[in-house]
């Protein structure tokens, strides 16, 4: 006797919706509308099921903490008219963790994962011709899909494209090797996702993919696996250097003999600042192009460390990093909050590092809570021996991928960068284990 076919439920629709929202985030109003609908669907479902997983509560607790601290120090917009702009800038964290929060109110089964994979396949198939058309300079498509000579597709930025298609490649590989899902993405599609990720020129996403690959080799504890991953990374790395001038320029920059002394100089200059300011250039001969981009990171990291040391435990306050003319209350070196400030998030761009960014605004407490959102599900998935091995592996792989990208960007607090990784992590973490047929 055959068992009835199980179809995707609310979780599958939510997960697919999050993937669509980020894949088409170039159209901001459409993307926000999709997220709004998903929130309404999850709220309606919650009224019927009253189901909330502890992982969802963990993410919700972090968002509440950040919001409450912001409200206490007055860094939340006072009028509703300011919210649309703010939620796309400093307030992005209130949206970024929604995949775990909303999927955490549903029942997740393998058909939900299958539906999500199908959605990812469609998005990759749709973007490959867009990539090719943009490369050959097709009018309109080139202007939409390429920004500063890097591929962004129909997403909001080339970093978003890198994260979407980098995570998509990992997920598609796992689906191909998991007959339990009932689908088998072709190798051409996986290759297409990798080309799109590398073509984005997002060094952040490339770092994430490399770390995720070596994590996989470490997890499998086989020398042959390590050798295979090393060779694959070397081949793809060479391909990436040819495909992306941005990546090639960065590697060349790191080989510059004057880089590291200039970087230390910019770091110390940054630490002396009492607020976030723009990088104005480095040493003679090192202030242009890709080297300037590298030096600016050290400058912003110095600013972040200097501000964090004012209030290491809880930070200077939520949403204050991109403020200027701040006034501080408390004991410097222990707890000192920025109780006033002028929002310059339209102009300033933060620490270029998620860990330093959260340390500045919410201190060690905020960093521990944010990391727990990823690490606690990671540890839980390791115990889910009833799930398909490759699916379980890919769910855990989202964590080193995301955490590595956070070294150079706000990839754990931005919807455009977090949605696919966190959606897949939530699905695998919460997926019910299949019962063996009688």
The answer to whether residue 364 scores a pLDDT higher than 60 is: yes
The answer to whether residue 166 scores a pLDDT higher than 90 is: yes
Q: From CA 79, how far away is CA 248, in angstroms rounded?
A: 45
- Average pLDDT of the segment spanning 12-19: 97
The answer to whether residue 240 scores a pLDDT higher than 90 is: no
- Tell which residue, 265, 10, 2, 226, has the closest CA to residue 115: 10
How confident is the model over 412-421, as pLDDT tens digits? 999 988 999 9
- Average pLDDT of the segment spanning 158-183: 95
328 phi, psi to nearest 5 deg: -110, 145
Torsion angle of C-alpha atoms 271, 277, 283, 284, degrees rounded to 10:
-170
- Average pLDDT of the segment spanning 41-51: 90
Q: How confident is the model at residue 61 (pLDDT cuts 50, 70, 90)?
A: very high
Q: How confident is the model at residue 249 (pLDDT cuts 50, 70, 90)?
A: low
The residues, ordered by sequence, that sit 6+ positions from 192 with a Cβ below 8 Å of its Cβ are 124, 125, 127, 128
* Claim: this prediction has a pTM higher than 0.75: yes
Q: How far is CA 178 from the centre of its chain?
A: 25
Q: From CA 130, how far away is CA 119, in angstroms rounded?
A: 17
Q: From CA 391, how far away is CA 400, in angstroms rounded?
A: 15
| Whether the Cβ atoms of residue 316 and residue 306 lie closer than 8 Å to each other | no
Q: What percent of the chain has pLDDT over 90?
A: 61
The answer to whether residue 361 scores a pLDDT higher than 60 is: yes
Both structure tokens of 34: 């999709």
Q: How confident is the model at residue 78 (pLDDT cuts 50, 70, 90)?
A: confident
Q: How confident is the model at residue 263 (pLDDT cuts 50, 70, 90)?
A: confident
Q: What mean pLDDT is reported for the chain?
A: 88
Q: Please classify residue 240 by burial: count the beta carbons closer than 10 Å to its beta carbon, then call 0-12 exposed, 13-18 middle and 19+ buried.
A: buried
Q: How far is CA 92 from the centre of its chain?
A: 12
Q: How confident is the model at residue 435 (pLDDT cuts 50, 70, 90)?
A: low
How confident is the model over 99-121, as pLDDT tens digits? 999 999 999 999 999 999 999 99
């Amino acid at each position: 006797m055959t068992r009835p076919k199980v179809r995707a439920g609310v979780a599958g629709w939510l997960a697919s919706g999050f993937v669509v929202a980020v894949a088409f985030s170039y159209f901001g109003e459409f993307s926000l509308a999709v997220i709004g609908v998903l929130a309404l669907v999850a709220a309606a479902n919650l009224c019927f099921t009253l189901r909330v997983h502890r992982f969802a509560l963990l993410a919700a607790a972090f968002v509440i903490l950040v919001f409450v601290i912001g409200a206490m120090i007055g860094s939340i917009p006072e009028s509703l008219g300011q919210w649309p702009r703010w939620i796309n800038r400093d307030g992005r964290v209130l949206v970024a963790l929604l995949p775990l929060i909303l999927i955490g109110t549903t029942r997740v089964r393998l058909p939900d994962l299958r539906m999500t994979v199908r959605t990812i396949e469609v998005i990759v198939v749709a973007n490959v011709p867009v990539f090719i058309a943009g490369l050959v300079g097709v009018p309109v498509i080139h202007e939409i899909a390429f920004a500063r000579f890097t591929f962004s597709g129909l997403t909001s930025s080339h970093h978003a494209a890198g994260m979407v298609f980098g995570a998509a490649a990992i997920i598609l590989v796992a689906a191909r090797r998991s007959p339990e899902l009932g689908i088998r993405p072709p190798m051409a599609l996986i290759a297409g996702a990798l080309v799109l990720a590398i073509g984005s020129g997002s060094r952040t996403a490339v770092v994430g993919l490399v770390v995720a690959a070596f994590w996989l080799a470490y997890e499998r504890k086989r020398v042959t696996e390590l050798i295979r991953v090393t060779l694959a990374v070397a081949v793809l790395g060479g391909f990436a250097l040819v495909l992306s001038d941005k990546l090639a320029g960065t590697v060349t920059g790191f080989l510059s003999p004057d880089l590291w002394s200039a970087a230390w100089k910019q770091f110390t200059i940054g630490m002396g600042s009492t607020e976030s300011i723009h990088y104005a250039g480095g040493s003679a001969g090192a202030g242009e192009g890709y080297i300037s981009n590298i030096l600016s990171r050290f400058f912003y990291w110095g600013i972040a460390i200097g501000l964090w040391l004012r209030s290491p435990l809880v930070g200077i306050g939520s949403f204050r990093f991109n403020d200027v003319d701040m006034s501080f209350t408390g004991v410097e070196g222990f707890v000192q909050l920025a109780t006033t400030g002028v929002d310059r998030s339209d102009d300033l761009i933060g620490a270029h590092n998620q860990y330093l960014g959260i340390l500045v605004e919410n201190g060690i407490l905020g960093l521990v809570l944010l990391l727990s959102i990823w690490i606690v599900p990671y540890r839980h998935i390791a115990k889910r021996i009833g799930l398909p091995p490759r699916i379980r592996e890919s769910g855990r792989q989202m964590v080193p991928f995301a955490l590595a990208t956070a070294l150079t960007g706000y990839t754990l607090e931005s919807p455009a960068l977090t949605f696919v990784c966190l959606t897949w992590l939530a699905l695998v973490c919460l997926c019910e284990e299949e019962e063996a047929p009688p």
